[in-house]
Amino acid sequence: MTTAHDRTDVRAPVVAGLLLAAGGGRRLGGRPKALLSHRGRPLVEYAVGVLRAAGCEVVHVVLGASAEVVRERAELPGCVLVDNPEWAEGMGSSLRAGLASLAADARGVDAALVLLVDQPGIGAEAVGRVRAAYRSRDSLAAASYEGQRGHPVLFGAGHWAGIAVLAVGDRGARDYLAAHRDAITPVDCSDVAEPYDIDTEADLAHLE
């Protein structure tokens, strides 16, 4: 007879991937970043693949610019697609929308691992390192590159409400992280990733 004391079916923590892919590519002639091609696939598909390869079984993707076109052209099976009609306000609105979606996920998400769609130089190895920094729902961790904080960033669920309050404009979680600097676990990824952004026409040279 098995007693409650003998049970070993303690639920494994759920660290979900949260991909922010709503940007309109204003400096790219209005081409939505999610649909830029990289290695023969839209960037949004590539980034979801990175999150999956790093161990994120639950993935939420925030769409904004040309959301309907992205839904038509990109293959994102198993992902929760979150529409952010306020995407033009900046990254803060997408982060708020994504965290709200994760909070409502019936699978009980314990932490969000946030990746940006326009950083294809950050692969599964870096994302996996930051994911491994999860300890509890109070965890805060971020990739660092030559001592500078970057993405991905891991937010334990205990921080989501506070982040949402401060996530305005294009600042995302910057103000919250600045206020909690001492609580952040830095994860050096300098040897396995390059945190460049695809923002301008010149940056398109990074795409393969």
Q: Are 49 and 59 in contact (CB under 8 A)?
A: no
Res 9: pLDDT = 57
Contacts (Cβ under 8 Å, ≥6 apart) of 1: none
For the stretch 100-117, pLDDT in tens is 999 999 999 999 999 999
Query: Nearest 5°: phi and psi at 44?
Result: -65, -40
Q: How far apart, in whole angstroms, are the C-alpha atoms of residue 82 and residue 100?
A: 10
59 burial type by CB count under 10 A (0-12 exposed, 13-18 middle, 19+ buried): buried
Give the chain's residues under pLDDT 50.
1-4, 7
Q: What is the pLDDT of residue 4?
A: 47
- Partners of 156 in beta bridges: 111
pTM of the model: 0.94
Q: Can you give the pLDDT at residue 162?
A: 96
pLDDT of residue 2: 47
